[in-house]
Structure 1
Amino acid sequence: MNSEKKEQDEYVELDEETLFLVSQTFKALSDPTRIRILNLLFSREYSVNEIADSLNLGQSTVSHQLRFLKNLRLVKYRREGTTLYYSYDDDHVMNMLKLTIDHSSHS
């Protein structure tokens, strides 16, 4: 076994902040509404009203979920006039979500 492979396999204790962030990310991905929102944001950016209309959800529900996702830096927004447009902000998590969706779609 080469030393590079051995270094990769060595156990490294996670610090409390990392543990918290990882658990919060999985918490975000454990909610069906948040998964639906993130899945929608794969295609393009959307306003809160567009997300609500596309997913047949209430605007307050969408806003609440977006706030949760934004606090974890999973989504970001840009302002155009009085409208906020949301898009995803973390390729790693989106790739993980896509892989999980693909995995779940296997028959």
Structure 2
Amino acid sequence: MSSGPPGAAEEVEMVPSVVVGYDASQQSATAVRWAAREAARTGSPLLVVHVWGFAHQRTGGAGTSWLGAQVIAGVQAVADEGVAVALEAAPDVHARGSSATAHPRR
């Protein structure tokens, strides 16, 4: 329960996360392993992110068809692969993968 005025938002303790990008390259795997060990050292959760995009479209250019859904599932699989790399380096870390579509400059 909040101790502030009525309607005030409750304070939520934010646990800082370690966030790392992964694109299945050796360089990104090295970054994921480092991030996993850092997350384990600090007791922070780890978020492995794979971002992709094409033609500035909301779905990354994959579309909304069955084939588009398969492409998006494949993109998520890259993030999940990054989680597996993290767990090899730091088996006790709380890690999850996330994929997103965005323009490369964002």
- TM-score > 0.5, shorter chain as reference: no
Q: Give the TM interval when normalised to the shorter protein.
A: under 0.3
Q: Whose relative contact order is higher, 1 or 2, with alpha carbons under 8 Å and at least 6 apart?
A: 2
Greater fraction helix: 1
